[in-house]
Amino acid sequence: MFTSLLFAAGSGLLPGLPAPSPAAWLFLLVQGLYGLLTLLLWAAWRRIPVPAGADVPAKRPFFSVVVAARDEAGHLPDLLRGLARQDYPPDAFEVLIVDDHSTDDTARVVAEAAAGVAFPVRLLRLADSLPASAPGRNYKKKAIEYGVQSARGEWIALTDGDCRVPPGWLAALAGCAGREGVRMVSGPVAFDGERSAFEKMQTVEFASLIGSGAATLHLGLPTMCNAANLAFARAAFVAVDGYAGTADTATGDDLFLMHKLHVRYPGGVVFLKSPGCVVYTAAKETWGAFYQQRKRWASKWNLYQDWRVSALAVAVFAANLALPAGLAGYLLGGLAPGWLLGGAAARFGLEFAFLRDVLRFLGRGRRVKWILPVQVVYAWYVVFFAIIAQKRGYVWKGRKLY
């Protein structure tokens, strides 16, 4: 598609369009390269194998499900009910809720739930290991480390207190964990229960992150994963010294660990493309909550230790910056509207095809119609948060972090 467009531009085969100016050539080149990247990710996504079922190994791994929870009393009952419905023997997993200095009834909720389930549930208080007044900003990482240190399982499964896990979650993770050489399993996450247009658009945007993270991991260049659905071998966590090297950052408890394990165990980090393993959570209801979350996510890009991942982040930023820059070029008379619309339409077509496949896999096929509205605002969104993330500081779980 892009090759044809560029050929037509160079040979004057598109009637009614002036010869492309240098600005038009630059715009088409950037959009073309981004389109080829999208095509590569789409192809990689389609090549990720989908397990026929939960191929649980004969020797089931014992899982320790570690949940770092802060003020999640309202959500933990749903999570624990989902864990109680697992298609996995209750004597083959335990649940550790690490209470990160909660100010609500988290402890009571966990105690009540523990009395009514067949698997062990333990409440760990991070305050016993890390006082609330302790300097630093890495509370979640400390909570996960505390859970790993206290765990009995050979495999650690992470999720969040505001998530809902499907019945086949642990069985699917076990099937993947049983493969030769696998040390970490990244699972799919999606939003559900959306009501407003704002929340539905978040579902599309979040699906793009899940799909891109899965595709780049399949290509051998891990970029993103999500701690709402993540599992790793406890021995591998110990072997890479956990979060050492990134312990002072308040975010990145998922992807920086993935990068370390990928370096230590090439090919040992995989994405589990199983529909029965999708973990669901809720989109942000307000702009303020969305702003703080996305600023926290965007603040990680310059902490990547693999230059290729950093280069990819810069390339994506440049491609999205090209759209508002192209609009400015049109308004200033340096870019014909045909080249602006043609380049953008070709790019959007590939993005639509990729996102449609990801949304359908995640069980969010009804949100396909929201892809176009997201594409209209996405470039502005990327540029905005890339700039705003340079200003340090955001609020997470009631804490001001830097």
Whether residues 27 and 73 fall in one domain: no
Q: How many CB atoms lie within 10 A of CB 365?
A: 12
Q: Does 80 map to a domain?
A: yes
How far is Cα 147 from Cα 143, in angstroms, rounded to an integer? 6
Q: Does 27 map to a domain?
A: yes
Whether residues 205 and 259 fall in one domain: yes
Whether residues 175 and 292 fall in one domain: yes
How far is Cα 47 from Cα 35, in angstroms, rounded to an integer? 18
Which residues partner with 6 through β-bridges? none
Q: Does 55 map to a domain?
A: no
Whether residues 144 and 169 fall in one domain: yes
- In the β-sheet with 230-233, what is the strand arrangement from edge to edge? 121-125, 93-99, 63-69, 155-158, 230-233, 184-186, 269-271
Q: pTM for this one? A: 0.89
How far is Cα 113 from Cα 367, in angstroms, rounded to an integer? 34
How many domains does the structure of the chain reveal?
2
* 44-83 pLDDT per residue, tens: 999 999 987 656 666 789 999 999 999 999 999 999 999 9
Is residue 165 within 8 A of residue 83, CB to CB? The reply is yes
* Domain boundary residue, one of 299, 323, 343: 299
* 112-125 pLDDT per residue, tens: 888 888 899 999 99
Whether residues 171 and 314 fall in one domain: no
* 348-390 pLDDT per residue, tens: 999 999 999 999 999 999 999 999 999 889 888 888 888 887 7
Whether residues 262 and 195 fall in one domain: yes
* Domain boundary residue, one of 255, 283, 299: 299
Q: What six digits make up the tokens of 16?
A: 């009614």
Whether residues 70 and 193 fall in one domain: yes
Q: What six digits make up the tokens of 275?
A: 């529909």
Token pair 């909550």 in the structure block, residue: 289
Number of helical (H) and strand (E) elements in the chain, helices listed first? 13, 11
Find the domain containing 10 and state its range. Answer: 2-47+307-401
Token pair 């701690």 in the structure block, residue: 227
How far is Cα 301 from Cα 311, in angstroms, rounded to an integer? 10
Q: How many CB atoms lie within 10 A of CB 392?
A: 9
Is residue 61 within 8 A of residue 153, CB to CB? The reply is yes
Whether residues 293 and 315 fall in one domain: no
CATH of the domain at 241: 3.90.550.10
Whether residues 151 and 269 fall in one domain: yes
* Domain boundary residue, one of 275, 299, 323: 299
Whether residues 342 and 268 fall in one domain: no
Q: Does 81 map to a domain?
A: yes
Whether residues 225 and 276 fall in one domain: yes
How far is Cα 235 from Cα 183, in angstroms, rounded to an integer? 9
* 144-165 pLDDT per residue, tens: 999 999 999 999 999 999 999 9
Helix axes 2-11, 337-361, angle to 10 degrees: 170
